[in-house]
Structure formats: structure tokens, C-alpha cells
């Protein structure tokens, strides 16, 4: 999924700093959203206000699901 998305963005002319990096999901997604809004709509936005809390929530949720799944396994 990541390679397809980044390949599409490269084909559209976005540079490496604006592509999604799974090692830094909040920062890279923030740069990407800001770049898309600037290029497509001519708007300067600061999406970090919304993306960082959303990514943190998703990471906590996934961490909880993984941990609760392992706790419920019977060995």
C-alpha cells in the first residue's frame, strides 16, 4: 500500500520529503497533507494539529488490540 501511494505521489511530482514514511507516520502524513492542500487548493494549512492526536490514538488502539489478543491466547 505504501509503495503504491508513494509511487503515485512521485508520478504527480511530489518530492521525497512529502512522501509517506512509516517510520515517522505523524510527521510524514502532516507534510503530505500540507503539500496536497497547498498544491491542489492553494491553501496553507497546519494539519499537525489534527493528525498528531489522530495518529497517537490509532497507535494506542492498535497497541491495546495486540496486547489484549496475546492475553486471551490459551497455551
How many other C-beta atoms are found inside a 10 Å radius of the C-beta of residue 6? 18
Q: What is the mean pLDDT of residues 53-62?
A: 92
Structural Rg of the chain based on CA atoms: 16
**Tens digits of residue pLDDT in 6-37:** 999 999 999 999 999 999 999 999 999 999 99
Q: What does the pLDDT read at residue 75?
A: 52
Contacts of 14 (CB under 8 A, 6+ apart): 32, 35, 39
Per-residue confidence band for 3, with pLDDT thresholds at 50, 70 and 90? confident
Sequence-separated (6 or more) residues with CB below 8 Å from residue 25: 55
| Global confidence as pTM | 0.76
Amino acid at each position: 500500500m505504501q509503495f503504491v501511494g508513494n509511487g503515485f505521489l512521485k508520478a504527480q511530482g511530489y518530492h521525497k520529503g512529502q512522501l509517506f514514511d512509516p517510520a515517522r507516520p505523524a510527521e510524514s502524513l502532516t507534510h503530505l497533507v500540507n503539500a496536497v492542500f497547498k498544491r491542489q487548493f492553494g491553501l496553507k494549512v497546519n494539519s499537525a494539529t489534527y493528525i498528531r492526536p489522530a495518529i497517537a490514538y490509532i497507535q494506542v488502539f492498535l497497541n491495546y488490540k495486540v496486547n489484549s489478543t496475546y492475553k486471551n491466547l490459551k497455551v
